[in-house]
Amino acid sequence: MRALGTAATGMLAQQLNVDVISNNIANMTTTGFKRQRAEFQDLLYQDLRRAGAASSDAGTVVPSGIQVGIGVKTASVYRIMDQGGMENTENTYDMAIQGDGFFRVLLPSGEEAYTRAGSFQVSPTGEIVTQDGFTVVPSITVPQDAISVTINTSGEVQVQLDGQVNLQTVGQFDLAIFFNEAGLQPMGDNLFKESPASGAPTVGVPGSVGFGSIRQGYLETSNVNSVSEITSLISAQRAYEMNSKVITTADEMMSVTNQLK
């Protein structure tokens, strides 16, 4: 009986769906998090009677045939890169990207990673780094005697030094954009890596054509919608229950068959 195997694939698919939804809900307060969505495809079909096959010597053909599906499979877990909300933190080194783009981060391995989480800090030498101490690219160092730091929407970092009136520019942030942002490889810790699916990064100045702008003193919140996720969770649970009901029904039908005398 095909129903047992078909329903089993349905239960596995909904189990993965719940896993994805639970990860979204768990990261509702994660800075810069982008929600994911599971996509599914139907499996191969068994042709019991092929459509278009000849049905007589007179040239008539079967109009629709008989095809029986054997279940479902996971096609992908797609990352939705919609803009998250803006949370005002009033922290000097907190930065949010409004629009497209990623901050560039230099990993200890020498590779470059990308993030939307702009909760930056300064190292003991005054270098702007991530919460894990990774250098933000390009490297920007704030002087020890700076009494204020201003980062404009174009990513220009200006400081006011003690005893001076005019601001001094000490660096310039840039952003990286990708043709297929959803194809970036997640690393955890709010970091992504370039992949063959994402394409190579294009680096540019914030606020220029195609690039988002920077908001100092803000953080981009997760783009997870709690109401939508709970609704999806309930739907996945009901689908799981219905697939389990199919298995129960198929088992009962097989039991009746076994009892025939």
Whether residue 215 sits in one domain with residue 104: yes
How confident is the model over 2-40, as pLDDT tens digits? 889 999 999 999 999 999 999 999 999 999 999 999 999
Quote the pLDDT of residue 50: 83
> Which of 52-61, 159-168, 226-235 is most confident?
226-235
Can you read off the two tokens belonging to residue 9? Answer: 């694939």
CA 235 to the chain's CA centroid: 21
Q: Report the alpha-carbon distance of residue 216 to residue 207 in Å, rounded.
A: 14
Is the pLDDT reported for residue 251 higher than 80?
yes
Whether residue 122 sits in one domain with residue 95: yes
DSSP letter, residue 65:
-
Whether residue 158 sits in one domain with residue 62: no
Whether residue 97 sits in one domain with residue 208: yes
The dihedral through the CA atoms of 126, 132, 135, 137 has a sign that is negative
Whether residue 93 sits in one domain with residue 167: yes
Point out which residues pair with 99 in neighbouring strands: none
DSSP letter, residue 134:
P
**E strands in the chain:** 36-42, 45-49, 66-69, 72-79, 86-88, 95-98, 103-106, 112-115, 121-122, 128-129, 135-137, 146-151, 156-161, 168-172, 175-177, 185-188, 191-193, 202-204, 213-216, 218-220
Whether residue 135 sits in one domain with residue 31: no
Whether residue 159 sits in one domain with residue 98: yes
Whether residue 134 sits in one domain with residue 174: yes
Mean pLDDT of the chain: 93
Whether residue 108 sits in one domain with residue 193: yes
Structural domain range at position 111? 86-220
pTM for the whole thing? Answer: 0.86
Is the pLDDT reported for residue 204 higher than 80?
yes
Alpha helices in the chain (DSSP H): 2-26, 226-258
Residue whose token pair is 């709970």: 230
Quote the pLDDT of residue 248: 93
Q: By C-alpha distance, which of 151, 138, 166, 142 is closest to 207?
A: 151
Please state the domain count of the chain: 2
How confident is the model over 81-128, as pLDDT tens digits? 999 999 999 899 999 999 999 999 999 999 999 999 999 999 999 999
Whether residue 29 sits in one domain with residue 45: yes
Whether residue 216 sits in one domain with residue 94: yes
Whether residue 175 sits in one domain with residue 206: yes
CB–CB of 206/224 below 8 Å?
no
Q: Report the alpha-carbon distance of residue 168 to residue 4 in Å, rounded.
A: 71
